[in-house]
Each structure stands twice: as C-alpha cells, then as structure tokens.
Amino acid sequence: MKTAVVGATGMVGRTMIKVLEERNFPVTELIPAASEKSVGKEIIFRGKPVRVVSVQDAVDAKPMFAIFSAGASISRDWAPKFAGNGTVVIDNSSYWRMHKEVPLVVPQINIHAIKKGDRIIANPNCSTIQMVMALAPLHRKYKIKRLVVATYQSVTGTGVKAVAQMENERKGIKGEMAYAHPIDMNCFPHGGSFQPDGYTTEEQKLIDETRKILEDQTIMVTATVVRIPVVGGHSEAVNVEFEKEFDIEDVKTLISGFPGNVVYDDPASNKYPMPLMSHNRDEVFVGRIRRDLSREKCLNLWVVSDNIRKGAATNAVEIAEYMVAASLI
C-alpha cells in the first residue's frame, strides 16, 4: 500500500507522517513529496531515512493514497492528476471542500458520504472538525437551529512562520512577520482574508462546512475567528440553539459517548479544556457545558483540540483507515 504525503516537509505534512507511523497504517512504501526546493532532503519514517521527491514523481509512482497538505493551488492542480491514476486523494486544503461531488468527511460523523470509486476526499478545516465532533451527537437528538461561535486559534494554524514570529517577539528579536500585527501579548480577530461582507474566509468555512458535514443546510451559523499566542490547539466558545428541549446530563452523556470526544468539565476543581492539555493529542475536549440562561433551548460549550492532529493530520489518516476497512478503495 504505497502512500504519498504531498507537502511532506511542512508542519502538517510532518505530522501526517508521524501519525501514519503511530497508528501503524499499513504503508508498504512512503513517498514524501514537496516543492522543488525540498527535493532530495530526507525525512525519517519508521526509523529509516526516506528521500523527498517531486510531486510529479509521486504521481508517477501511482500510490494507493496521496494525502495532501500543500495549499489550495497545489491541490487544485495536482489532485486530479493523482486521481486520474487511480490514487485516492485526501486533501487538507480548502480547494475541494465545497465541491458538490467531493465528500467532506469527519469519519466519526459522515464516513457514509464516501462512495466506492470516489478519488478525491476533502479534509475539513481544523476549527470545523473539532466543533462538529462535539455537535454531531447533539444535532442527531435535539436538532440544531442556530450556532454562534467564537474561536481562539493557535498560531500553528498559520504555520511555521507564525510560530517563529511569536517566538522571536518573546525573545525581543525582529524577524519576518507572518501577521500584520504582533501576536505575543496580543490577539486579533483576523483569520484568513476578509470578504466583501466583512467576514473572513476562516469564518465562512465554519459556516459552510458545518452545514455540509452535518447534512443540514437549515442550520444558521455565525462566527468570529480570533488568533491568539498559543501553540497547543484551537479553542472555541460555542452557543447552540436547539429546536427541541434538552437535558444537561444527557448532553454530557451524548458528547462523551461519541468516539473521539472527552468531556472534561468540573469547574469547581478548575477542570476545563485548555490548549495545554490538547497539545499532541487526538481527542476533542469539551467543557463548560451549561445552559444559556438568557434564551430557551440554548447551550454553551467550550471545545478544544489540537488543530494539527485531529484538526488536520489525524483526521486525514482516519479517513484512509476507514476507507481501507470498508473496502472503499
């Protein structure tokens, strides 16, 4: 089972390779691919060095899977070439997510969206993944009417340059700026690029992708994305309005019983999810579960998860695992 990782030298790409190794995915040959400037470099997989190749070389190798984390334009240009060779592409960019014919998948929620013969599968945005993991079991029972979400997103979501900016600022070093503003000792409501309606592309992803994954276009969603100076994971304050009345204890049982979720909610003991506890872990942590006392049938949640792992790399590998197990190749 030859498996290519496109964007193998980036932050998410390296984590994808790590997750493939950790989960003992049955890779017979790893094909790390990257831009021309990275060709010839070596990465370590299962204790052995593996040479980075060009994307064209990876296409020519005709792998069973090609897991992408190389940006929308690379996915746009190269995913069809892999797919044309019979390779299953699992793409972490935003390019294919809202294409009607392309499944947008969180395996625990909607693996059924993948049909035998599908050759391009979209991996959702990191913020969307963790939110819908918490919400899916609740939507099935109580039906979500409206969501109001504010995110507190790690700089790792922007990449290595953003982490370097923050670290430089903490050391008092002037360096390359990934953001328009300082990030250390600061936060700003800007993720992605601004659209004419005043929302950012990151906010729009939360709106569109949530509806597609939960398979309900009637859900009303509004979002504000905020970048904060942490590296452990993304956090989200989510206000949920249901069509049906709910029971708090049942809400906790539904969330904790959903594969991949952990309810960590004991405020009296100062126990609630934080990026520090989600770092390098695959679970979605949910806490501060409480009624919205200002409105009927409304709930407040605090959701935290490692955006590089479950928010990207682990979810992509899980898709491949589910496809193999269900003979969907």
Residues designated as active site: 126, 234
How far separated are the first and last CA of the chain, in Å rounded?
Answer: 11
Angle at CA 112, nearest 5°, toward 107 and 117?
A: 105
Query: How far is 221 from 231, CA to CA, in rounded Å?
Result: 26
Q: Are 15 and 312 in contact (CB under 8 A)?
A: yes
Instruction: Render 107-158 in DSSP notation, one character per residue.
Output: HHHHGGG--TT--EEEPPPHHHHHHHHHHHHHHHHH-EEEEEEEEEE-GGGT
> 3-class SS at 195?
coil
Q: Is 42 helix (H, G, I), strand (E, B) or coil?
A: strand
Give the list of residues 6+ apart from residue 96 with CB closer than 8 angstroms, or none. Answer: 75, 79, 102, 120, 122
Q: Which helix (H) or strand (E) holds 5?
A: strand 2-6
Neighbours of 48 (CB within 10 A): 9
Q: 35: which 2 tokens?
A: 């831009």
Q: Degrees (nearest 5) of the Cα angle 217, 118, 88?
A: 120
In DSSP notation, 134-147 reads HHHHHHHHH-EEEE
